[in-house]
Chain A
Amino acid sequence: MDRNHPHRQLALMRQSFFDQGYLDEQFIQLEELQDDANPNFVEEVVTSYYRDSARLILNIEQALEKKPLDFNKLDGYMHQFKGSSSSIGAEKVKAECTQFREYCRAGNGEGCIRTFQQLKKEYTTLKKKLEAYFQLARQAGPSETACRPK
């Protein structure tokens, strides 16, 4: 039925985020916190994440331009970034953060730079996917929570 179609699309989109490893269990935890009192809680948290982490990304970019690289500082920024990414369930972004920190510990500047490029890609891809998801959710209107992954 036409009325159900956007909801089904929404559910499939959501499932793909988990199947493709963009999001993990923590995102479901956020969904479980959403209620009638805060019907847009997940979107608010995600919006805060992207707003707040933009500053961190800028700090890391600036730090990567300095010579020699301050690996302690970079690790500190990435620790913060990993923490927030983990809190919203951004699995791929989190994995790149972990890799970056390993390169920091090894003092591998090229590895850091390379990983950071990959991290930004994952970060931007997730942002686009979630923006599309929340937009579709608004169009679809209120519904029962979509099926959880098995």
Chain B
Amino acid sequence: MGFKNINIGTKEGVSNVVGTALLSSPRINREQMKNIQTNISTALVVDDDIINRKIHRKLLDNLGIESETVTNGKEAVDVHCTGKNFDLILMDLEMPIMNGIEATKKLREMGIHSMIAGVSTRSLEEEKQEFMDAGLNDFKEKPLTVAKLASILHKFCEDDLEPVTD
């Protein structure tokens, strides 16, 4: 059984029944991954853990999304100060120097409108809410999977967000 041309991250994908079915499956395999299309082209991975950076980067790479990685919230802010912008930011919560909540607030204050998806092992409602209130568009519990990333891409479209990079 194969899925063809699943436009999860585009307007067509929102009403695509096959795309919706894919989003509700717990695991998206390699073949299905190849058929996912999105209009997100750049991402920033913000995580102090080298394993997570490696995995998140590969997840994005497999979906054709170019990514950069930084190791804490301050570096995420600094990279934006150089004038760089990203369609999507995957933001860890607990990091040294500047955590995900502070970094998200700072980026929003700076006028950064990129989609920011919080990714954390913290699962208590109040912790998630505090993170969301900082300015996230979405939140996913770690570990991140293809299905969870596909869900983020879908939300990008649902929220009528536009890519910031060409």
- The smallest beta-carbon distance between A91 and chain B, in angstroms, is 12
CB pair A88 B54 closer than 8 Å: no
How many chain A residues touch the partner (CB < 8 A)?
Answer: 24
CB pair B121 A79 closer than 8 Å: yes
- A96-134 CB contacts (< 8 Å) to partner B: none
CB pair B49 A83 closer than 8 Å: yes
Tell me which residues across on chain A come within 8 A of B121, comparing CB atoms.
79, 82-83, 86
- A18-74 CB contacts (< 8 Å) to partner B: 25-26, 28-30, 32-33, 35, 37-38, 41, 44-45, 48-49, 52
Q: Is B27's beta carbon under 8 Å from chain A?
A: yes
Q: Is A15's beta carbon under 8 Å from chain B?
A: no
Tell me which residues across on chain A come within 8 A of B85, comparing CB atoms.
none
- The smallest beta-carbon distance between B125 and chain A, in angstroms, is 18
- The smallest beta-carbon distance between A131 and chain B, in angstroms, is 17
Q: Is A80's beta carbon under 8 Å from chain B?
A: yes
Interface majority SS on B: helix, strand, loop or mixed? helix
Tell me which residues across on chain B come within 8 A of A52, comparing CB atoms.
49-51
Complex Cα distance A86/B120, Å?
A: 12
Which residue of chain A is the closest to B29 with respect to CB atoms? Answer: A32
Q: Is B145's beta carbon under 8 Å from chain A?
A: yes
Q: Is B4's beta carbon under 8 Å from chain A?
A: no
CB pair B142 A83 closer than 8 Å: yes
CB pair A33 B59 closer than 8 Å: yes
Q: Is B62's beta carbon under 8 Å from chain A?
A: yes
Q: Is B84's beta carbon under 8 Å from chain A?
A: no
Which residue of chain A is the closest to B33 with respect to CB atoms? Answer: A32
Given contacts A25-B27, A33-B30, A33-B58, list 13 more A-B pairs with CB under 8 A. Answer: A28-B27, A29-B27, A29-B145, A32-B27, A37-B61, A44-B54, A45-B51, A48-B54, A82-B121, A83-B52, A83-B121, A86-B142, A87-B55
Kindly supply a per-residue 1/0 record for chain B positions 72-106, scoring 1 wherever the CB is within 8 Å of any chain A CB and 0 otherwise.
00000000000000000000001000000000000
How many chain B residues touch the partner (CB < 8 A)?
Answer: 22
Q: Is B46's beta carbon under 8 Å from chain A?
A: no
**Known: A41-B58, A79-B94. Is A29-B143 also a contact (CB below 8 A)?**
yes
CB pair A33 B62 closer than 8 Å: yes
CB pair A86 B143 closer than 8 Å: yes
**17 A-B pairs whose Cβ atoms sit less than 8 Å apart in the complex:** A26-B143, A32-B27, A32-B30, A33-B30, A33-B55, A35-B30, A44-B54, A48-B50, A48-B51, A49-B51, A52-B49, A52-B50, A83-B52, A84-B49, A86-B142, A87-B142, A88-B51
Q: Is B43's beta carbon under 8 Å from chain A?
A: no
Kindly supply a per-residue 1/0 record for chain B positions 133-161, scoring 1 wherever the CB is within 8 Å of any chain A CB and 0 otherwise.
00000000011011000000000000000
- The smallest beta-carbon distance between A107 and chain B, in angstroms, is 20
Complex Cα distance A86/B123, Å?
A: 14
CB pair B52 A87 closer than 8 Å: yes
Which residue of chain A is the closest to B122 with respect to CB atoms? Answer: A79
Tell me which residues across on chain A come within 8 A of B28, comparing CB atoms.
32
